[in-house]
C-alpha cells in the first residue's frame, strides 16, 4: 500500500454536518512519504472521482485544513473544490460532480466539561487518519504523566457519538478543540503544561 483515500457516503458519514443523500465525504487522504511527489494521489483521486460518477454521486465534500502538510485546502482547490463554509482552522469544500450545489448544515458541538480535573481531555474517534491515531497515543502517554491533574475520556466514533455530542471526530481540551494535523509528543506535553499553568493562575 502506498496511500489511501478514506471516505464515506453522506448517509453514513461520521461528520459534524447534516448532509443530503448521495454525496461523498472525504475523511482523510494520504500518500506514504517515500512515494509523495510522484503523482500517486492525482491518479488515486482521479480513479476515486470516476468511481463516484459511475455510482451517481452528486459531489464530494471535505473538511480541508489551514495547516500545511495535512489536508490543506490548496490541494483540494487545485482539483476544483470550492469553499462553501469557513471555520476555525479549516474550510468546508465541495467538488460538484452531478450537482452544482449541496445542502449541508453544521451541527452544534456539545462537548462535556465535568470539572473532574484541572485539564480534561475529551477524545471522540480521532482514528480516521494515521495523524489522529498517533496524536491519541501521545495523549494517553502524556496524560498519564500528570496523574489526577489531567483526565482523559475516549469515546468511539459512531452514530451515537454524533447524535450525543454533535461531533464524530476530534480532540478537545476543557471543551475547546485542539491538535489539528500532525503533532509531536513534545507539542502535546507543552499544550497540556500550558493549560495546567493557566488553570493555576486563575
Q: What is the pLDDT of residue 89?
A: 67
Cα(130)–Cα(116) distance, rounded to whole angstroms?
29
Q: What is the pLDDT of residue 8?
A: 95
> Residue 171 — φ and ψ, nearest 5°?
-125, 130
- Among residues 32, 27, 28, 29, the alpha carbon closest in space to that of 2 is found at 32
- Read off the pLDDT of residues 87-128 as tens digits, 9 standing for 90 and up: 776 899 999 999 999 999 999 999 999 998 999 999 998 666
- Read off the pLDDT of residues 63-73 as tens digits, 9 standing for 90 and up: 998 877 778 89
Rg (CA), the chain: 18
Q: What is the pLDDT of residue 75?
A: 92
Please provide the DSSP assignment of 63-130 as one string: EEESSTTSSBHHHHHTTT-EEEEEETTEEEEEEESS-S---EEEPPP------SSSEEEEEE---SSH
Cα(123)–Cα(182) distance, rounded to whole angstroms?
16
Is residue 114, in this structure, part of any structural domain at all? no
Same domain, yes or no: 101 and 162 = no
Q: What is the pLDDT of residue 65?
A: 87
Same domain, yes or no: 169 and 130 = yes
In the predicted structure, residue 201 carries a pLDDT above the cut 60? no
Of the ranges 4-18, 31-45, 174-188, which is most confident?
A: 4-18
Q: What is the pLDDT of residue 200?
A: 59
Cα(31)–Cα(27) distance, rounded to whole angstroms?
14
Cell readout for 10 is 453522506
Q: How confident is the model at residue 198 (pLDDT cuts 50, 70, 90)?
A: confident
Same domain, yes or no: 101 and 128 = no
Same domain, yes or no: 102 and 127 = no
Structural domain boundaries enclosing 184: 119-201
Cα(169)–Cα(125) distance, rounded to whole angstroms?
5
How many domains does the chain divide into? Answer: 2
- For 107, counting Cβ atoms within 10 Å of its Cβ (0-12 exposed, 13-18 middle, 19+ buried), the class is middle
Q: Full-prediction pTM beyond 0.75? A: yes
Q: What is the pLDDT of residue 202?
A: 47
The proportion of the chain whose per-residue pLDDT surpasses 90, expressed as a percent, equals 71
Amino acid at each position: 500500500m502506498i496511500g489511501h483515500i478514506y471516505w464515506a457516503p453522506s448517509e453514513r458519514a461520521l461528520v459534524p454536518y447534516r448532509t443530503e443523500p448521495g454525496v461523498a465525504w472525504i475523511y482523510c487522504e494520504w500518500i506514504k512519504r517515500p512515494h509523495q511527489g510522484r503523482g500517486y494521489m492525482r491518479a488515486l483521486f482521479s480513479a476515486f472521482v470516476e468511481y463516484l460518477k459511475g455510482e451517481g454521486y452528486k459531489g464530494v465534500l471535505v473538511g480541508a485544513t489551514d495547516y500545511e502538510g495535512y489536508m490543506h485546502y490548496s490541494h483540494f482547490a487545485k482539483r476544483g473544490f470550492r469553499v462553501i463554509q469557513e471555520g476555525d482552522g479549516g474550510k468546508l469544500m465541495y467538488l460538484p460532480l452531478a450537482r452544482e450545489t449541496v445542502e449541508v448544515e453544521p451541527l452544534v458541538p456539545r462537548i462535556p466539561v465535568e470539572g473532574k480535573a484541572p485539564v480534561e481531555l475529551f477524545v471522540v474517534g480521532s482514528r480516521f487518519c494515521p495523524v489522529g491515531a498517533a496524536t491519541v497515543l501521545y495523549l494517553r502517554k502524556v496524560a498519564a504523566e500528570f496523574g489526577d491533574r489531567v483526565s482523559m475520556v475516549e469515546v468511539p466514533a459512531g452514530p451515537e457519538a454524533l447524535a450525543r455530542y454533535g461531533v464524530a471526530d476530534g480532540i478537545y481540551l476543557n471543551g475547546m478543540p485542539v491538535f489539528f494535523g500532525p503533532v509531536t509528543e513534545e507539542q502535546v506535553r507543552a499544550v497540556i503544561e500550558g493549560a495546567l499553568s493557566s488553570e493555576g493562575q486563575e
